Amino acid sequence: MILYRTTDGLFVEQDGRFYPVFAESLDALVVLDDLQGFLSSVVDKGDAVPHFDIHKLLAPIGSQEVWASGVTYYRSRSARMEESKAAGGGDAGQSQRPDHRLHHRQ
């Protein structure tokens, strides 16, 4: 199963057929405890669309922040903070970060 976000809404693909997914938003959908079960129930209803336009595809993201290879910044920050506390350090999530960007010199 593959989940798609389009200008016409959300769709799930199974065996080359596309089924509309009626959900409030992608954000609401991806936090479901059993997303695969929910999408399977959509497919099981069998209401496939006759035509799926790939030209209407959108990026598969809602309002969540994304940081480095699909890891949310919040999740990564939380992990850094826990690691720092476990090592006896301070709050790594609140520390200042050095600026490692390249600067153009004239």
What global pTM score does this model have? 0.60
Cα separation, 3 vs 70, whole angstroms: 16
C-beta separation of 78 from 22 below 8 A:
no
Q: What is the domain partition of the chain in residue ranges?
A: 2-56, 64-94
Query: Residue 10's closest CA among 45, 19, 1?
Result: 19
Q: Note the pLDDT of residue 6.
A: 94
Give per-residue pLDDT as tens, 10-37.
999 999 999 999 998 899 998 899 999 9
Cα separation, 92 vs 2, whole angstroms: 37
State which residues of the chain have pLDDT below 50: 92, 106
Q: Which two tokens stand for residue 64?
A: 């969540």
Q: Note the pLDDT of residue 3.
A: 93
